[in-house]
Structure 1
Amino acid sequence: MTENPARAERQTPENQQQQRNNRRIMDVNKTRRQLSIRMKSVMKFSGRSKDASNIKWQDPYNFLGLLNVLDQASVKSSKGALPSLEVVMGNESADLDSIISATAYAVLTNILVNKICIPLVQISKSELKLRQECVYALKESGLNQNNLIYLDDFEKVKKVLKKYDDSKIVLVDHNQLMSRWKDVEGKVYRIIDHHKDENLYSVTGEYRNIKLVGSACSLVTLEFKDLWTKATDDQKKTLAKLPKLLLAPILVDTISLDESKGKTKPEDLSAAKFLLEIISDYHGIQKARFDVSHLSDFDLLRKDYKQWEIASLQLGISAVTWDLNSWTEARTLEKVTESFDKYAERNKLDLLLVATLYDHPEYGFQRELVIWPVGEKIDRKQLVEKLKDSELRLVNNGKYKHNAFYNQENVVMSRKQIYPLVETILRSMDGWYILDQNNFSLSPVKAMECIGFAASQ
């Protein structure tokens, strides 16, 4: 049989290579079509061009959906089809200010700056229920908490950050990443925070917005104020959920913008004024924030909790929005104090502080402080004396016989100010030494006992 010349030509090495190339192109185009179908579930393209500058959100509040798209997409198929990717995150306590500032920053960036930004809430999804003020604020603003991204998807978020070379990290309501982000800390490029500057990361100029104001949400609001003012009607309609959402933590953290409390700064007033021109609804959020009676003692202590290591000591501070009188009457004093011991033991603490904040019907916002040393590492009497002599202005709560519960007359000082004060006191206390060979902190008497000397010698 005579071989078909045309068939023989198609089977040359050059033509075979061309066929393989054509198949690869078809596979890539198929992948692009599949990606496009998935992308349209959360995004849409405007205009005829499908370049990065024309990508718009289909649902700007479905962050989990977008994360899944970014995770599933291959780098080759998505290259040139996505704007610069940003991941914004608040601090690990994930309070109202942290969750809302990160969420609002992401939405405003996506709508007004034409970038893709996803916010991360740095707690597990199951822990959100402990933060009823957050649940309330999200619900009242029309946001579905199931569309947020939590630490449950931590590995997926980190994978996406590493996957896209131009990805960046934005920090709000803190300026120091936790150790879990160590391998991607080089991606930090913007900071919006109201805490002490730890002077980390090579972020300078307008990208390092750190001011000691009342709320991080105030800074986020002002960051986008000009763009928000110039937004189109469609953009403003999309952003309609945000003013109420942003206003909540600003009012909470500044104690209703009461300048006499010392927490309200001009930036807070300016941001609140801008948001109040759009909408104002606060009372329900505040009520939900202080409604914690349904939580167990354990949940109350872990709801808004931070822990630090000071040399070899472990210090934990729980912020609780319930007064000690109501708390102990509802649970009994014995059960409440027992919960302190159990919580301290669970977290291997040497000192637990419980900082309460509540709204008194006659006197307004009041604070209390529980000082709860555990074990023998800390001289309790000396610690209490130094704290009572500090600017906290602690006064014994006369209702309780033991020296643990105090009224805090300086209501301006929250946990953010209490921690550095306590750290300084612990480091300066007489009789507090570090035995490097044992990596253990003991008073001189205890140290002598450990090496065989009697206290009287």
Structure 2
Amino acid sequence: MAKSISTYTLSHHLADQKARFLADQGRGWTLVMGNEAGDLDTLASSIGYAWLRSHESSNEDQQKSVALMTTSRVDFVLRAENVHALQLARITDPYPELLCPEDLPVSHQCTEYALVDHNNLQSNFASANAQVKAVLDHHEDEGKYLGSASPRIIEPAGSCASLVTRQNPPTPRPIPPELATLLLSAIMIDTQGLKKGGKALGVDRDAAAWLLRHSSLPDLAPAADGTGNINLSLPAEGALDTLTDHSLIRSLTDTLSTKKMAVSHLSTRDLLRRDYKEYTLNVSPSISVQPGPVKAGLATVPLPLSVYFASHPSSTMAESQAWMKERGLSILGVLTTYRGKKGVGKREEMWIVHESLADTADRQLALRLFRGLEADKQLRLKRVDFGPSNDFSFHADFTVRVYKQKNASATRKQIAPTLKQILEK
């Protein structure tokens, strides 16, 4: 007998799928996974799409789908916004129902993957018999899995969670209110509450309107905020313009944003790995003595560089170098994002280049990178002298340069393809 949606929660479903996957050693299952940064969009999209696939009654194979977290369970504390959104979805520490990397059997037999919030399978899963069966993403299309992935949807959106929500069939099946809340949370953090003139597109507003009506937010909202009673009435069908100013949307967005920026307790290493992506670049023969792949890492840090270096500049430099050594990086980009005194969004970039790993002569790797970045019309970078990078110099093999990014709307989503284009052409 089918379980009632009111009693069979999202947590129950995740626990059941995880147990079945582990019992089968992954044989015949599809791992639904997001990108390595492990942000809220990746987390919610993987859980959401795995749920949708597992409830596709017409396809028994798709029913055996389970979300794989890309973050170790002990590292969930690095993202307070993720923890809060999971709590709203009634998933709490120590998160036993979630399948995390450390839960995977060493010899698991899963070879099928569905990718959300990225469109290139991570190298540690890319075995000879690996198959990517589906892709839902809003990053630059890398042109892979054209023959194997169905659906293969790569298109602009403020949040991948919006593309996942749109996959719900025209006659929607019941969705757990906890899942609707989780997906809505991802859309809010990525679009700054559907901010007008921001990243939100039509697909995001449509998804948010539908999710709000099916979410658990009205039941979770406090009786009052600091100004009076919270408006718990939901917007009428099609009234998308009212979403941005809706009390529930504002409250959720403000709470998530505040938690996302609360990182003062984190070490330099934790700040670097908290929101981090890694890339393998095949550098041009004109740069390297022995052309071949080099590794680059991009870490998004929600602090200005002045705060990043505030306490112990020399140790911050040392920890940054140590992270590069740990990851085998030739290039590390620290991409800061924060709000100025008037609440205006600001961004900076600090680039650290380790020439010896790339086997380049006369700092050719750094020179090509810096020239390319400074010439890029989209980022609009302005080079600045930054005290800590001057006063506490790196080892002689390292070259450092700091920029103000005048185009504050450009994120890692735009910077990563630019980096690839500069060094591989």
TM-score range, shorter chain: 0.7 to 0.9
Higher relative contact order (CA 8 A, sep 6+): 2
Q: Which runs of 5+ in 1 are unaligned?
A: 1-44, 48-53, 79-83, 163-167, 429-457
Secondary structure of residue in 1 paired with 2:126: helix
Q: For residues 402-432 of structure 1, give each alpha carbon's deviation from its aligned partner in whole angstroms, at most 9, with x where no partner exists.
A: 463322111222112112212222235xxxx
Secondary structure of residue in 1 paired with 2:329: coil
Closer/same/farther in 2, CA of residues 89 and 57 from structure 1, 3 Å limit:
farther
Q: Distance in 1 between matches of 2:7 and 2:167?
A: 21
Counterpart in 2 of 1:392?
Answer: 379
Counterpart in 2 of 1:249?
Answer: 186
Quote the offset at 1:170 in angstroms: 2.0
Q: Distance in 1 between matches of 2:355 and 2:412?
A: 23
Contact 1:93/1:304 (<8 A) preserved: yes
Closer/same/farther in 2, CA of residues 148 and 95 from structure 1, 3 Å limit:
same
Q: Which runs of 5+ in 2 are unaligned?
A: 218-248, 283-291, 391-399
Contact 2:45/2:116 (<8 A) preserved: yes
Q: Distance in 2 between matches of 1:186 and 1:350?
A: 29
Counterpart in 2 of 1:354?
Answer: 334
Quote the offset at 1:98 in angstroms: 0.9
Secondary structure of residue in 2 paired with 1:158: coil
Quote the offset at 1:125 in angstroms: 1.9
1:48-447 alignment runs, 5 A limit = 58-62=8-12, 63-72=14-23, 86-110=30-54, 113=57, 115-144=63-92, 145-155=95-105, 158-159=108-109, 161=110, 169-183=113-127, 187-201=131-145, 203=147, 207-224=151-168, 226-228=170-172, 231=173, 235-236=174-175, 239-261=176-198, 263-278=199-214, 279=217, 280=249, 281-311=252-282, 312=292, 313-329=294-310, 331-375=311-355, 377=360, 378-379=363-364, 380-381=366-367, 383-390=369-376, 391-397=378-384, 400=387, 402=390, 404-428=401-425
Contact 1:189/1:203 (<8 A) preserved: no
Q: Distance in 1 between matches of 2:268 and 2:101?
A: 24
Closer/same/farther in 2, CA of residues 333 and 420 from structure 1, 3 Å limit:
same
Quote the offset at 1:151 in angstroms: 0.8
Secondary structure of residue in 2 paired with 1:61: helix
Counterpart in 2 of 1:34?
Answer: none
Contact 1:248/1:282 (<8 A) preserved: yes
Contact 1:353/1:369 (<8 A) preserved: yes
Secondary structure of residue in 1 paired with 2:18: helix
Q: Distance in 1 between matches of 2:342 and 2:23?
A: 56
Quote the offset at 1:249 in angstroms: 2.0
Secondary structure of residue in 2 paired with 1:196: coil
User: 2:200 is matched by which residue type in structure 1?
Assistant: T
Q: Which moves more between the two structures, 313-322 or 187-196?
A: 187-196
Closer/same/farther in 2, CA of residues 203 and 321 from structure 1, 3 Å limit:
farther
Closer/same/farther in 2, CA of residues 67 and 382 from structure 1, 3 Å limit:
closer
Contact 2:192/2:253 (<8 A) preserved: no
Q: For residues 119-174 of structure 1, give each alpha carbon's deviation from its aligned partner in whole angstroms, at most 9, with x where no partner exists.
A: 11123222222222211211122223221001112237933x36xxxxx5322112
Taking structure 1 as the reference length, the TM-score comes to 0.69
Contact 1:170/1:190 (<8 A) preserved: yes
Q: Distance in 1 between matches of 2:145 and 2:108?
A: 18
Contact 2:302/2:337 (<8 A) preserved: yes
Closer/same/farther in 2, CA of residues 184 and 68 from structure 1, 3 Å limit:
farther
Count matched residues: 356
Counterpart in 2 of 1:454?
Answer: none
Closer/same/farther in 2, CA of residues 55 and 270 from structure 1, 3 Å limit:
closer
Contact 1:186/1:201 (<8 A) preserved: no
User: 1:244 is matched by which residue type in structure 2?
Assistant: T
Q: Distance in 1 between matches of 2:209 and 2:25?
A: 45
Secondary structure of residue in 1 paired with 2:407: coil
Quote the offset at 1:303 in angstroms: 1.2
Secondary structure of residue in 2 paired with 1:419: helix
Contact 1:67/1:157 (<8 A) preserved: no
Quote the offset at 1:225 in angstroms: 6.0
Contact 1:120/1:149 (<8 A) preserved: yes
Q: Which moves more between the two structures, 395-404 or 92-101?
A: 395-404
Q: Distance in 2 between matches of 1:252 and 1:220?
A: 16
Quote the offset at 1:67 in angstroms: 2.6
Structure showing greater radius of gyration is: 1
Counterpart in 2 of 1:435?
Answer: none
User: 2:182 is matched by which residue type in structure 1?
Assistant: L
Closer/same/farther in 2, CA of residues 73 and 90 from structure 1, 3 Å limit:
closer
Secondary structure of residue in 2 paired with 1:146: coil
Q: Distance in 1 between matches of 2:203 and 2:103?
A: 34
Closer/same/farther in 2, CA of residues 333 and 291 from structure 1, 3 Å limit:
same
Q: Distance in 2 between matches of 1:397 and 1:332?
A: 21
Q: Distance in 2 between matches of 1:90 and 1:375?
A: 31
Contact 1:386/1:425 (<8 A) preserved: yes
Quote the offset at 1:300 in angstroms: 0.6
Q: Which moves more between the two structures, 146-155 or 105-114?
A: 105-114
Identity %: 27
The structure that is helix-richer by fraction is 1
Contact 1:177/1:185 (<8 A) preserved: no
Q: For residues 68-107 of structure 1, give each alpha carbon's deviation from its aligned partner in whole angstroms, at most 9, with x where no partner exists.
A: 33443699xx9xxxxx954311122222111110112223
